[in-house]
Structure 1
């Protein structure tokens, strides 16, 4: 047996001590690195949150101004259409006046708002009585379309609505499909129903009858001011026709602005005149912290679908 020398044992103990120290130092380095990483990450998150809050506040202000621009531009278009001042140049003049008003209004708040007209789409504004002779042909868009009856609605039910009820018919020749929207009385209620290709309709909504006159907002999916989902037929192709059935007996009057190159026709006293269907504008808003620019198409009362 060969005895182990004391020097060999000492060297072995030193190697063990070195490994222990190395592990300790490595652990310390890792711990310090993790602490530094956490500090940097927290600083980054804090900076991003502060910056984001500033951006969201500025964006909110720009969006507020944008909403005001859309509302006021739409109001000017509709007012001009109702008053018969409906050429594109007159609308552009109104938008330029709006630009001056906005510039003064937001300059006092430290912002610069600019609205510039780009283009307008011509159409037709119609209002008044309609009947089976009334046709609105080749429609590419409709907005603020509503019908109101002046006398009692025909009494019927879903089984006979297709032949007896007041109807607005959307004839989509591109797909060979018709969409019917019916309005009639049933007992003590007035009912809105919808059908397709002349089939038995499905009731959409009803309301207690409180008098003869009710209003169906066709593009707004509302009946006498309350929501009535599904009135507007989704997915219509460009160039559809709008027609009316059984409307004359109930004294139905319609109001609408339509995008079509063909003048609507009717044997009734329906008023039809040139109109502006929509307007495209450039909007810019600038403050010390924000530069916002966008192009907006304004068509108030257009259906969501």
Structure 2
């Protein structure tokens, strides 16, 4: 076995050190190159995704309008009408996107049945039940599109009341209630959310400038087009969306209707077999629908299913 002298050992260590240094430099270049490439890819993807997300939002809005029109104008065959409208939406979307070098389309993927209840507010009956045993949709609500179009609202002493309560509860326990009234210049909403004990009870208010034709979108959380904390989450995060805390199966009631002039409409999920008590005002409808959206752009390819339920509470 050969013996190395001190100077040979030093040369060997120097050579080994230089070799390791070259290896580390090479590794650093590879890692930096990968990070740089990944950053460029993510930047390109982010830039491309903004167009895809904007197109998806527009598609969801257009599909929502198609559902509303199908339910309103074609109650005997709302699904057929919705599919026809959806094909028009897809054709228009493709035509518009093609001008920017992208291809996109939307197709029907399914729906859940509902009942659309609409008509004049009954001034001859001070208190009545609109629907019994409405079941929630998994992960969402079971009622959407509850809107009052009122030319005349009562005062604070006798407000219009919308009450949603757990089917198995009594009194105001496990209920959500909204009081709606008008003063000379404003529409006011006061919401009560009751739990199983007093410590769970919450109250919220909002006021919005009134109109000659007030539009209260109860489930969408809007009054005359403006957000209302009493019908959605307030600044502290407390949830006041329609029916919050009323259980998985609930009833919907109107009170003090003899002081209100106008009409209303709403759509409830019918898969659970709710009892719609105002049968003369009830039609078959689409509760919600699922559409498949595909976007093929220069920077991103996006394929996703989109649930469409216009006017549903964000509970």
TM-score between the two structures when normalised by the length of structure 2 = 0.75
Residue 209 (structure 1) shift: 6.8
Query: Pick from 259, 262, 278: which aligns with 1:249?
Result: 259
Aligned residue in 1 for 2:161 = 167
Query: Pick from 26, 36, 39: which aligns with 1:46?
Result: 36
Does the 8 Å CA contact 1:84/1:274 hold for their aligned counterparts? Answer: no
Does 2:85 correspond to 1:94?
yes
Residue 238 (structure 1) shift: 4.2
**Cα distance in 2, alignment partners of residues 51 and 198 from structure 1:** 52
Residue 120 (structure 1) shift: 2.7
Give the 4+ runs in structure 1 shifted more than 6 A: 185-189, 197-201
Q: Is there any run of 5+ residues in structure 1 with no aligned partner, and where?
A: 1-11, 157-163
Does the 8 Å CA contact 2:161/2:178 hold for their aligned counterparts? Answer: yes
CA gap of 1:104–1:167, structure 2 versus 1, over 3 A, is same
Residue 32 (structure 1) shift: 2.1
Residue 47 (structure 1) shift: 1.2
Report how many aligned residue pairs link the two structures.
284
**Cα distance in 2, alignment partners of residues 205 and 199 from structure 1:** 21
Show CA shifts across 1:151-207 (max 9, x none): 353434xxxxxxx54321112225663322223469997341314279997541232
Show CA shifts across 1:117-151 (max 9, x none): 12232322224314512422232311121335543
Does 2:137 correspond to 1:146?
no
Segment drifting more, 147-156 vs 182-191: 182-191
Query: Pick from 43, 62, 69: which aligns with 2:52?
Result: 62
CA gap of 1:276–1:204, structure 2 versus 1, over 3 A, is same
Aligned residue in 1 for 2:121 = 129
Query: Pick from 282, 289, 293: which aligns with 1:279?
Result: 289
SS at match of 2:17: helix
SS at match of 2:30: helix
TM-score between the two structures when normalised by the length of structure 1 = 0.77
Q: Is there any run of 5+ residues in structure 2 with no aligned partner, and where?
A: 136-141, 234-239
Kindly name which structure, 1 or 2, has the bigger radius of gyration based on alpha carbons.
1
Aligned alpha-carbon RMSD (Å): 3.4
